[in-house]
Homo-oligomer: A and B are copies of this chain.
Amino acid sequence: MLPDVSVYTPGQVVEETGFSLDTLRYYERIGLLESIDRNAAGQRRFTQKDVGWLGMIRCLRDTGMPIAEMLRFAEMTRAGDHTVRERIALLEAHDRRVQEQVDNLRERQVAIRNKIAYYHSVVD
| A→B interface (CB under 8 Å) | 56, 59-60, 62-63, 81, 84-85, 87-88, 91-92, 94-95, 98-99, 101-102, 104-106, 108-109, 111-113, 115-116, 119-120, 122-123
Nearest chain-B residue to A88 (Cβ)? B119
How many Å from the CB of A12 to the closest CB on chain B?
22
A81 vs B94: C-alpha distance when bound (angstroms): 43
How many Å from the CB of A46 to the closest CB on chain B?
20
What are the residues of chain B within 8 A of A109 when measuring CB–CB? 63, 95, 98-99, 102
A93 vs B111: C-alpha distance when bound (angstroms): 15
What are the residues of chain B within 8 A of A102 when measuring CB–CB? 102, 105-106, 109
A92 vs B117: C-alpha distance when bound (angstroms): 10
Nearest chain-B residue to A86 (Cβ)? B119
